[in-house]
Amino acid sequence: MTQRVELATVMDRLAVDGLITEYAVAVDDGDWTAYRDLFAPEGRADYRSAGGIEGDAAQVARWLARSMELFPMRQHLIVNRRVRFGYLEQDTGDTAQVQADYINPMRLAGQDGGSTAPDFVCGGRYAFTLIRTPDGWRITELTVQEKWRRSPHPSPT
């Protein structure tokens, strides 16, 4: 690899890492416009393993906006990011696959509109498929694979 290719790869990794961070911040802050802007026009998200929906970015943003009203405090932690760059039309690095683990503590809303303890916490893995666009890296596909959750109200056995 030449130094120019190595530098471009480092810059792409930083941009991809920034996109994943912007995803977490958009969801945590409830910024659904920013959430939609992270996706390519054909971008889709699948939250079914966490009890959600699958659809285009706008559909999923509307669902998240309603669902997240239950949790006035959210704080995604996205770790163990594994990035693999791919090929599109023989150009190195125009696509990327990212797998990243997450833990997501959320505070449930209280009856008076405030928040209350205990927290709802879940964890799992994200799978992102990304594409380089003229506007930077964008999500074409996002799949959530929830692996566990802890709820203040245990499910009946």
pLDDT tens per residue across span 48-93:
999 999 999 999 999 999 999 988 899 999 999 999 998 655 555 6
In a domain, 16, yes or no: yes
pTM, to two decimals = 0.88
In a domain, 156, yes or no: no
In a domain, 157, yes or no: no
Contact (Cβ atoms closer than 8 angstroms) between residue 102 and residue 77: yes
Confidence of residue 15 (pLDDT cuts 50, 70, 90): very high
Q: Is residue 134's pLDDT more than 90? A: yes
In a domain, 119, yes or no: yes
CATH of the domain at 29: 3.10.450.50
Q: Count the domains in the chain.
A: 1
Report the C-alpha gap between 7 and 38 in whole angstroms. 24
Span of 26-35, 50-59, 103-112 with lowest mean pLDDT: 103-112
Q: Is residue 26's pLDDT more than 70? A: yes
CA distances from 80 to 85, 99, 127, 151 (A): 16, 8, 12, 24
Question: Average pLDDT over the chain, rounded to whole?
Answer: 89
Span of 98-107, 122-131, 145-154 with lowest mean pLDDT: 145-154
What is the C-alpha radius of gyration for the chain, rounded to an integer number of angstroms?
Answer: 17
The whole-angstrom distance between residue 133's C-alpha and the CA centroid of its chain comes to 18
CB contact set of 98 (below 8 Å; sequence gap of 6+)? 16, 20, 81, 82, 83, 84, 126, 127, 128, 130
* Maximum pairwise Cα distance, the chain: 60
The encoded tokens of residue 49 equal 């393993």
Contact (Cβ atoms closer than 8 angstroms) between residue 131 and residue 41: no
Report the C-alpha gap between 128 and 83 in whole angstroms. 9
Parent domain of 139: 3-150
Q: Is residue 157's pLDDT more than 90? A: no
